[in-house]
């Protein structure tokens, strides 16, 4: 087999803050949220082909179909259509980011597909064009084109990057079960707020003090996640009891992340939590999005 023409890794995310502002006329919810890329990665390898589009799932924490429902294939088809090119690519996906976890793994893969094909075929689509395509694939896909830290508005697709990302240490804990995002929003348990919490977090992050940042964590969907899967609340309480500075459900859940003092504390907390959950990771925050491996 020939070597891949391009290999990328693309990160997961947490949300420092997720505010639900209300229901929109289009059926979606108006949000104000703070995205944060983290050092848990999926890997995509791109191979040139004469024609056709193919996706192969090399590995995944749980079964994942390589069919038309996969966001990687949707992103690739959208890219070739927008670029006016005939598809000629095979993509191999190695998944490490758990599915249905509130970590944005599928969205990250979709963004990396757009980003990678744009580079591989030297089409030089500007970031704004890629973000427009990304928003058609999912509300949080545009964020992953740049990664780092960003404010998200609208459905989450309107991105305002925040510079000067500080390296914080985190522990992620996900139970075996997943949560479907639509069910979380439709539960009627979301707490509505006005958007100030998301914007106020910027000044807290600038202190570079994890104890200060911990005071600003907020997720209006957390009560909904707790009601649908009570195990999530138990995991959050365990993280706090074991010494986390703060803990919060990420996105629509069920992953809970804990903010800790440093990497050593993250490793120690991860060891304590491993018996309690199917997936436990010690990670760091990132100032980037997709990263070229080769």
Catalytic site residue from 42, 74, 95, 140: 140
How many CA atoms, within 13 angstroms, populate the side-chain half-sphere of residue 148?
16
Would you say 235 and 258 are in contact if contact means Cβ atoms under 8 Å apart? Answer: no
Residue 219 lies in a domain: yes
Quick one: 55 and 176 in the same domain?
A: no
Judged on CB neighbours under 10 Å (0-12, 13-18, 19+), 147 is buried
- Judged by DSSP in three states, 97 sits in coil
Interaxial angle between packed helices 71-83 and 105-120, expressed in degrees from 0 to 180 and rounded to the nearest 10: 30
Q: Which residue, 249, 288, 246, 208, is CA-closest to 39?
A: 288
Strands of the 256-260 sheet, one edge to the other: 246-249, 256-260, 169-174, 279-284
50 a catalytic residue: no
**Is the sign of the CA dihedral 174, 282, 97, 189 positive or negative?**
positive
Range(s) of the domain holding residue 18: 6-162
Residue 1 lies in a domain: no
pLDDT tens digit at each of 294 positions of the chain: 689 999 999 999 999 999 999 988 887 889 999 999 999 999 999 999 989 999 999 999 888 888 989 999 999 999 999 999 998 899 999 999 999 999 999 999 999 999 999 999 999 999 999 999 999 999 999 999 999 999 999 999 999 999 877 799 999 999 999 898 889 998 889 999 999 999 999 999 999 999 999 999 999 999 999 999 999 999 999 999 999 999 999 999 999 999 999 999 999 999 999 999 999 999 999 999 999 998
Quick one: 177 and 157 in the same domain?
A: no
Quick one: 149 and 48 in the same domain?
A: yes
Quick one: 116 and 256 in the same domain?
A: no
140 a catalytic residue: yes
Quick one: 257 and 144 in the same domain?
A: no
Quick one: 196 and 137 in the same domain?
A: no
Catalytic site residue from 9, 13, 95, 236: 13
Vertex 98 angle, CA 93 and 101, to 5°: 135
pTM of the entire structure?
A: 0.95
The domain that holds 87 is classified in CATH as: 3.30.230.10
């Amino acid at each position: 087999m020939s070597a891949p023409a391009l290999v990328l890794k693309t990160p997961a995310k947490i949300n420092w803050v997720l505010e639900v502002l209300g229901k929109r006329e289009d059926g979606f919810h108006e949000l104000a949220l703070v995205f944060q890329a983290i050092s848990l990665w999926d890997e995509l390898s791109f191979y040139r082909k004469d024609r056709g589009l193919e996706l192969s799932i090399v590995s995944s924490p749980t079964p994942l179909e390589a069919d038309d429902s996969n966001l990687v294939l949707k992103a690739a088809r959208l890219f070739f259509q927008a670029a006016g090119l005939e598809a000629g690519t095979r993509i191999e996906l190695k998944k490490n980011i758990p599915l249905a976890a509130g970590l944005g793994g599928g969205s990250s893969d979709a963004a990396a597909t757009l980003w990678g094909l744009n580079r591989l075929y030297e089409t030089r689509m500007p970031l704004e064009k890629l973000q427009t395509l990304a928003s058609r694939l999912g509300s949080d896909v545009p964020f992953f084109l740049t990664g780092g830290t960003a404010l998200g508005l609208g459905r989450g697709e309107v991105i305002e990057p925040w510079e000067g990302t500080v390296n914080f240490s985190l522990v992620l804990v996900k139970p075996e079960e997943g949560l479907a995002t639509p069910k979380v929003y439709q539960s009627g348990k979301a707490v509505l707020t006005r958007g100030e919490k998301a914007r106020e977090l910027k000044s807290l992050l600038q202190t570079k003090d994890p104890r200060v940042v911990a005071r600003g964590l907020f997720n209006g969907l957390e009560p909904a996640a707790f009601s649908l899967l009570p195990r999530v609340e138990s995991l959050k309480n365990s993280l706090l009891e074991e010494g986390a500075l703060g803990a919060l459900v990420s996105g629509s859940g069920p992953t809970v992340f804990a903010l800790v003092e440093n990497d050593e504390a993250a490793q120690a907390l991860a060891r304590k939590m491993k018996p309690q959950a199917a997936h436990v990771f010690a990670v760091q925050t990132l100032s980037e999005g997709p990263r070229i491996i080769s």
